[in-house]
Structure 1
Amino acid sequence: MSDIFTLNAEEREVAGKGASRRLRREGLIPAIIYGGAKNRKPMSLTLTERELSRALKEEAFYSHVLTINIGDKSEQAILMDIQRSPAKGTPLHADFERVTKTTVVHKRVPLHFINEEKCKAVKLQGGKIQHAVTDVEVTCKVGDLPEFIEVDMADLELGAVVHLSNLKLPKGVSLTELNKGESHDVPVVSIVKPAGAETADEAAEDAAGEE
């Protein structure tokens, strides 16, 4: 994992809803950074809305170690939460956690479903892909945090169900839900037959029966 994102921030001394609203009117976003060594205190920050909004458009931003410059110092951190305006979707507040490469984190990462257009069940059997989840929470050291997890759809047949336990994970990465027990092994994606549709095999059988 490389540190490909850098944010510039300033320490914020004034807190409260009124102060936060004033900051947003000035194009600034309130934030907080916490964690790290036991004697490290949380620090309130401000970020520029333009810089943060640009970074939030990149999928990798959510699962990468970030460099946050604060004055003449810098912190290594990951984004833990982002609050957005319900109406506009613009950022309202960001939470960051200080990390080192050995810090163990619980973080949601996206699933990338590849080869859907080549899926055997869709092309040859009339199946339809149904996604149950689009991201998963992983537990790992920050240095092992994946940007995404791939789910290969190419060889799946009609009726196939991919569960959490079927996902191929990078070394050092586990799924938080599976760590809770087998009962949490939920479906990720499945291949179903659309209502009223015939598969290629069923169509062939019907045709043979008419002869």
Structure 2
Amino acid sequence: MADKIPDLHAEVRAGTGKGAARTARRNGMVPGIVYGGGADPLPINLDFNKLLTRLRKGRFMSTLFNLKVDGHDDVRIICRGVQRHVVKDLPTHVDFMRLKRTSRVDIFIPVEFINEEECKALKSGGGTLTVVRNEVEMNVLAGDIPDHITVDLAGRKMGDVIHFSDIALPGDIKPVISDRDFVIANIAAPKTIAADDDEDVAVDEVPTTEMGPPADPENEEN
């Protein structure tokens, strides 16, 4: 779990609309809005450089922040959208939603893989970890958002498929997609081994009474 909720400093934006937003950008700020939580929307400005630094660190959309604005009580917020310049890909507007500690929210939680050194299939077997999902959308309490969910690779074997049900989840969290046990990752065999296995299967499947090479599957489909 995150030990401390990071602060996000902002200032109240004077005025709303495109004119006020343009003025903010000219002054090195990024306009934003804070909504929800039973209170009126609050237009804010954030320092462009500080915001860009946080965005480049990653996980911005799945981080719970403590918003600090002069003249207003601190409030927990989560980002619900970042608009970017179509050419420069730089932030031009940010949307935040207010949350209570007891509120539940759907956010994407990163997946972290540990103990690769204790997985013989990866360490000495030449296997490859193929990650299908590097983050999972979870429903969590706003005051109890984990930094990540962990997949333990110790003892995993070649060809193993890791499903969501194989993961031990921290706290009171659950997947947004709950109607199927989706795949998180798998441990694939080296290509040379996989190719040899495919050739063996192909030869075994040819009846001994037939002459000539196996039929071309593409021709059979036609």
- Taking structure 1 as the reference length, the TM-score comes to 0.80
Distance in 2 between the 1:163 and 1:132 partners?
10
Q: Provide the residue aligned with 2:65 in structure 1.
A: 66
* RMSD between aligned residues: 2.3
**Does 1:136 find its partner at 2:132?**
no
- Taking structure 2 as the reference length, the TM-score comes to 0.76
Distance in 1 between the 2:34 and 2:14 partners?
11
Specify whether residues 122 and 6 from structure 1 end up closer, same or farther in structure 2 by C-alpha distance, changes over 3 A only: same
**Does 1:191 find its partner at 2:187?**
yes
Alignment deviations for residues 170-207 of structure 1 (CA, whole Å, 9 cap, x no partner): 121111112xx12xx22111011132237xxxxxxxxx
Q: Provide the residue aligned with 1:26 in structure 2.
A: 27
> How many residue pairs were aligned?
192
- Aligned residue identity for 2:15: E
Q: Provide the residue aligned with 2:210 in structure 1.
A: none
Deviation at 1:162, TM superposition (A): 0.9
Runs of 5+ unmatched residues, structure 1: 199-211
Q: Select the structure of larger CA radius of gyration.
A: 2
Deviation at 1:87, TM superposition (A): 4.2
Percent of aligned pairs with the same amino acid: 30
Deviation at 1:62, TM superposition (A): 4.2
Q: Judge which range, 3-12 or 54-63, deviates more.
A: 54-63
**Contact 2:12–2:42 under 8 Å retained in 1:** no
Distance in 2 between the 1:153 and 1:90 partners?
37
Runs of 5+ unmatched residues, structure 2: 195-222
Q: 1:8 aligns with which of 7, 10, 13?
A: 10
Distance in 2 between the 1:54 and 1:167 partners?
32
SS in 1 for 2:136: strand
Q: Provide the residue aligned with 2:37 in structure 1.
A: 36
Distance in 2 between the 1:149 and 1:91 partners?
28
